[in-house]
Chain A
Amino acid sequence: MKFEIEDVTVYFPYDNIYPEQYSYMVELKRALDARGHCLLEMPTGTGKTIALLSLITSYVLSKPQSPLKLVYCTRTVHEMEKTLAELKKLHDYQVKHLGPAARILAVGLSSRKNLCVNPRVLSAENRDSVDAGCRKLTASWVRALAEKNPGVPTCEFFEDYERAGSGAVLPPGVYTLQDLRAFGKQKGWCPYYLARHMVQLANVIVYSYQYLLDPKVAGIISKEMQRECVVVFDEAHNIDNVCIEALSVCVRRQTLEGATRNLHRMEQEIDRFKATDESRLRAEYQRLVEGLALRGDLRVNDTWLANPALPDDILKEAVPGNIRRADFFLRVLRRFVQYLKGRLETENVEKESPVAFVASVTNQAGIDQKTLKFCYDRLHSLMMTLEITDTDEFLHIQTICDFATLVGTYARGFSIIIEPFDERMPDVQDPVLQLSCHDASLAIKPVFDRFQTVVITSGTLSPIDLYPRLLNFNPVVSRSFTMSLTRDCICPMVLTRGSDQLPVSTKFDMRSDLSVVRNYGRLLLEMVSVVPDGIVCFFVSYSYMDEIVNSWNESGILKEIMQHKLVFIETQDVVETTLALDNYRRACDCGRGAVFFSVARGKVAEGIDFDRHYGRLVIMFGIPFQYTLSKILLARLEYLRDTFQIKEGDFLTFDALRQAAQCVGRVIRSKADYGMMIFADKRYSRHDKRSKLPGWILSHLRDAHLNLSTDMAVYIAREFLRKMAQPYDKAGSGGKKTLLSQEDIEKMGDGSLNDMLY
């Protein structure tokens, strides 16, 4: 359908539109007009992605003079594929209606592993990772060698791509990873480097969060983007965690040992150069005096990450005098590694601020803050001078320099925590020195500064006022949409008791109670016999899941469950989990029905949809709190309390409930879909916990469903499923329309539409 929002003609690839989608587009358009950032919460299953894509592409189409570009960030590759599939549908529709003028170039960018087409690199016999295999064939020094000696193998796809030069471009269209591979194979060009190159030219780029948020990666992949970009972070409820991860570094014994080896090798190289070609070292020295922090002049096919600290923080000043000379710099690094070794040999947990840590480094190792700050760039320069190209051998020393630069740059928002062992496994000695970032706004700040519009959207951003504080930005639009349903197609329940009326909970003191384990088992068993097709269960952690599944196995409950449905489990092995998930879907497709056991903070919960028959019921066993004794978490909580006045308990509850909401929220795909959600923990019945759930779940949580036992829940489930099996009017009955047709939109002006919606 085609309709107008103010001055923009929106092309939407369906015959009907949900009212939420329409108002979502209206809000989004306001943000684009205002060239500001926005924060939009819309329930899952209301077609966020397609609404967003179709508004932004239509916006660009209606203003052909603006060079607006869409950068769409997803958390995972499979979400990226889904987004590209939707974009493809949209693009087809727009081209059909507007002709070739609507053609755009949209590419998905991923790692070598997902894009490589070279059969030699991919072959199963090849034990190397794809990355290593690729580098062995494409590194500049290998290629230089191959020119002299034709016997050295290179990658013909990369060679052809290089030979094609600027002629190697993708024709307009939407390219999923599969399409890129197919195109690359057909042309004989390397799809990975082609995609990297096309990022500069594409109208729409879909890639992972880190490619934009992690300064090390963003510095090489996203550095040449213009300001006129709309950056979208989809499923962004966890964006604060991604941000702090991007700026955190940990140092372990292995790291230090590796770094020592690296230093030794570099020393040998320097000696060699001193003997043969000392002028090079002198030239480098001169460059450093002039203050040229060299970055970005390594070839695209060699791996060298950008500076871990943010580009704006790198002063354009000369490198400090004491590390300009190569051997002096090595000596500094050696002292630093030695110092870190000493710090790791601790018996107790230590926690320090960066300022105190730098002071201690200055005192004990004689390295000042400014020197630390320049470590990373100085190392880069040195390695270029020494013509070291097998950079992945030197990852350890890079990590150390990362660490040094971050510690030297930031005085606030970080802390250094040294733990001699993991709290949960006190008998295994594994000391870790962790530089932990607490302030999510640091990593995302350059994104907000650089691009004119940043959209943060997800199904669960409640409470919506918290995110601007955590990420430190001022959205021009901040809205949370509810869901207008044609019928009550979601049925959330809070289960507090088993059929024997004993309470159930994953509270630490009662999670291993036999009665809790048994009641959870009986709940699943009852549900398995009532609910058709797929059921998903989320547990609070792998260890808890392991424990409970084992005890179900011993008590025979698991066997009974398996008489009704096949059982699949998420494990920490991603390959196995993926296959299990694939099989789970197949079991649901063929009508056999299956149960999937998963973990609330695991990979599956992060972005796999259990819509339609893939998930008719989600059971959340317990509340997925973080491990509250973790030192890193405690330090972060302290920081949040001091800076943002967010109470520890509030943040923990907020974090746990957004995870829970995320887990259960994936059952709905559209208003025609339906699903049940069971929160199986007595604590959910308390108002302070429950109220943190997103509004669209709360509005369907009836008072009568707040304190259920297993038998009551089974009864409700039966009734619900029977009700959902009845035919219904899709457009919605009564005064409230839940599905708008072309006519509806044309008939109603904006004013009356808004009246109807809210």
Chain B
Amino acid sequence: MASAQVIKRAKYKTTVKDPGTAGVLKMAWDRFIFTPNHPNSASNLDVEFRFIKGHKNTKEGSNKPPWLNLTNDQGGSYIFEFESYPDLHTCRDFVGKSIGRSGETPTAASGKTDASLPDEQISTAELELRIKLLRENSELQKLHKQLVIGGILTEAEFWATRKKLLDRESSRKSKQRVGFKSAMISDIKPATDGRTNKVTFSLTPEVILQIFAEKPAVHAAFLKYVPKKMTEKDFWTKYFKAEYLHSTRNAVAAAAEAAEDEELAIFLRNDDILAKEARQKIRRVDPTVNMEADQGDDYMHLPDHGLFRDGGKDIIESQYELYRRTLAHDLNRHAAVVLEGRTVEVELEDTRTVAEALAKLKRVESANEDSDGTANQGILERIARITEIEDLQASHGPPLAPLCIKDPRDYFDSQQVIAVKAPAAEGKKCNLSSREAYGSLRDSISQTKQMGLLNPVVKTKDALQVFNALSHDISRTKYDVGKNPQDSVLDKLPSTTKEQLLHHWTSIQELLRHFWSSYPITSSYLYAKVNRLKDAMSQIYPQLEEIKKSVPAHHKQHVSVLVRQMHQALDAAFQHYDADLQKRSAKSSERPNGYV
């Protein structure tokens, strides 16, 4: 990764209006170097990325040329004009990465103890994703800056708790499975060059997949002939020749061509595989639409009985039936395939892989079909439901779909948030001493003994009190900001204080999360981490005090309530830390060898 570098032609400009100096921009992992084409030009640059604090670029599609603007920590900037947007994008991405890395390098250096996590191998894609996330979310960026660059957490630790965020981001692209298009593939129109009689068809893997899905015979032929007997190009040429013959609707010509060319005949003939599939499917068809059941009754369909050329019947051309394929047939087949919506879970790149993946899928499907015996039962139930006249009786409950959790993590995470939130809100309103609590408990027990159980176990007044206390606290949590602004205390505060408070709150949360997740301490690495976290947390106390002091008097009350909650949370952590330390020291006195 370190060896990666980017070299692009660009113009360096000191200001926006500057026409610029043409030259070559070379970006290495820690620095960029600009060498002008003109050797005696003064604008030779060699800048390390760690001085670069930000980068901007012009948007593609705006009428500005592709510019990249790098700002350094002194407030100056370097502007490069590239030849094209792709160049710009490559460089921008590289810069983004480098800046991100230059931020983390000192961390890695400062935290260079023997107790670091095993080196994690981050792919460039993941790195880009992280940078993108940071760019999009300023809050996250702040936190990142404070904790990671501040050396409290390592990069890996910071992101470990945000795996879900990363996952979602990366899976967003591939999440939706794309079905087949509604448009027919017969719509591929050939391109002519106008001079010769040649036509050109362009096939994409998507189109090929659809052809294979709709025409199993073509699919089978492809697997059989390519590449052993003919090249892929020959194969498709033949295919389109057959399509052309179909489109002329000249069954005689098609028959003649097919007689000469064996492979061509495969495309021209009716699809045997389809016919076989149809025979299988017809057995599972809903009997109330099964018109096929009327066919072939030995009593009703005798040859030469009934009216042959009735005015109500249509005539059928029976000649060359074999080589006649109608649009109707294509339409039905197409719609059926679209409805089945089978998708192949491979990258659509190579025709061969597409063909094989489809074949595999089909085998799986046919295996599934063989095994389902409950289908008939389902059909019968459906018929019974359909035959009912709906408004003559009380309606059944709406049909229920069973809950299907595609990604269990989504579900459990959301449940956990709720579970975590509830005790956090509850834990803070208890001011009773244990003595009092015990007394009241004893009282109520004796009361119950005397009077038996009251119908409402809890007195209404008490319940109301508890409820009020609970809901009071809930309304103050951060999650309510914005939802019901008039209730929130935060909105009454000056905006700087509010922001500060919120920032502290998130960073405390982040720190606490890491803190609690480090227990039980099983390795020296964790021990080091906890110590780091503890130091960071202890620094927050004075900051909070400062905020308290800075706010106007009439807000002091609210702020102190908010700050108290933070204090409580931190206190709990310290308490645990001290208790744990004591335990450890007690243990270590027994085992002087130190930590395990």
Contact = CB atoms under 8 A, between A and B. Distances in A.
Nearest to A132: B298
A577 B282 CA distance: 10
B304 A252 contact: yes
B40 interface: no
Contacts of B294: 76-78, 208, 574, 603
Contacts of B384: 85, 88-89
A86 B291 contact: no
A657 to B, nearest CB: 14
A566 B328 contact: no
A574 B295 contact: yes
A130 B316 CA distance: 25
A596 to B, nearest CB: 10
Interface in A387-425: 395-396, 399, 402, 419, 422-425
A240 B394 CA distance: 40
A583 B311 contact: no
B312 A594 contact: no
B309 A546 contact: no
Contact of A730 (B182, B297, B314, B391): B391
A424 B315 contact: yes
A217 B298 CA distance: 10
A672 B383 CA distance: 19
Contacts of A483: none
Interface stretch (A183-191, A585-593, A698-706, A747-755): A585-593
B311 A422 contact: no
A546 B390 CA distance: 37
Contact of B286 (A244, A549, A566, A585): A585
Given A249-B304, A399-B303, A633 B315 contact: no
A402 B302 CA distance: 12
A81 B287 contact: yes
A248 B312 CA distance: 15
Interface string B274-300: 001011111001111111111111111
B306 interface: yes
Interface string A540-554: 011101100110010
A50 interface: yes
Interface stretch (A109-117, A511-519, A716-724): A109-117
A739 B316 contact: no
Given A110-B297, A562-B184, A670-B389, A574 B289 contact: no
Interface stretch (A9-17, A157-165, A271-279, A333-341): A9-17
Interface stretch (B89-97, B335-343, B551-559): B335-343
B278 A576 contact: yes
A601 B313 CA distance: 7
Contact of B288 (A78, A111, A586, A739): A78
Interface residues of B, number: 64
B290 A578 contact: yes
Contacts of A424: 315
A152 interface: no
B182 A563 contact: yes
B453 to A, nearest CB: 44
Given A81-B383, A399-B305, A575-B292, A563 B183 contact: yes
A459 B476 CA distance: 68
A47 B310 contact: no
Given A78-B293, A579-B281, A633 B310 contact: yes
Contact of B335 (A434, A542, A587): A587
A94 interface: no
A498 B559 CA distance: 72
B286 A630 contact: no
Given A399-B303, A567-B335, A131 B312 contact: no
Contacts of B278: 575-576, 579
A121 interface: no
Interface string B256-275: 00000000000000000000
B390 A670 contact: yes
B293 A568 contact: no
Contacts of A608: 289, 291
B136 to A, nearest CB: 35
Nearest to A631: B309
Contacts of A210: 297, 299-300
Contact of A671 (B290, B300, B312, B391): B391
Given A14-B392, A572-B316, A575-B278, A78 B335 contact: no
A125 to B, nearest CB: 10
Contacts of A631: 309
Nearest to A597: B328
Interface residues of A, number: 116
A604 interface: yes
A214 B300 contact: yes
B310 A632 contact: yes
Q: Which of B187, B302, B326 has the most CB of A within 10 A?
A: B302
B290 A77 contact: yes
B174 interface: no
B593 interface: no
B339 A208 contact: no
Contacts of B327: 546, 549-550, 553
A576 B332 contact: yes
B329 A178 contact: no
A599 B314 contact: yes
Contacts of A582: 281, 285-286, 289
Contacts of A261: none
Contact of B314 (A211, A543, A609): A543
Contacts of B279: 124, 575
A308 to B, nearest CB: 9
Interface string B369-403: 00000001000100110011111111000000000
A676 interface: no
B16 to A, nearest CB: 47
A569 B302 contact: no
A208 B306 CA distance: 16
Nearest to A208: B300
B339 A566 contact: yes
A245 interface: yes
A415 B367 CA distance: 57
Contacts of B326: 546, 571
Nearest to B283: A122
A124 B280 CA distance: 8
Contact of A221 (B299, B328, B387, B389): B299
B308 A434 contact: yes
Contact of A583 (B187, B310, B314, B339): B339
Given A541-B314, A546-B326, A434 B286 contact: no
A432 interface: yes
A17 B299 contact: no
Given A541-B314, A562-B184, A630 B332 contact: no
A395 B391 CA distance: 51
Contacts of B306: 245-246, 248, 250
A506 B287 CA distance: 34
Contacts of A592: 339
23 contacts: A76-B294, A85-B384, A89-B384, A89-B388, A208-B294, A208-B297, A216-B302, A241-B312, A250-B305, A549-B328, A566-B335, A568-B335, A569-B328, A571-B332, A572-B314, A574-B291, A578-B290, A579-B278, A586-B339, A597-B328, A599-B314, A626-B310, A627-B312
Q: Which 7 A-B pairs have the closest CB atoms?
A: A630-B311, A633-B311, A14-B392, A111-B297, A626-B311, A77-B293, A672-B391
Interface of B: 182-184, 187, 276, 278-282, 285-300, 302-317, 326-329, 331-332, 335-336, 338-339, 376, 380, 383-384, 387-394
Interface of A: 14-18, 47, 50, 76-78, 81-82, 85-86, 88-89, 110-114, 124, 129-131, 176-178, 208, 210-211, 214, 216-217, 220-221, 241, 244-246, 248-252, 255, 303, 305, 395-396, 399, 402, 419, 422-425, 432, 434, 436, 541-543, 545-546, 549-550, 553, 559, 562-563, 566-572, 574-583, 585-587, 590, 592, 594, 597, 599, 601, 603-604, 608-609, 626-633, 669-673, 730, 739
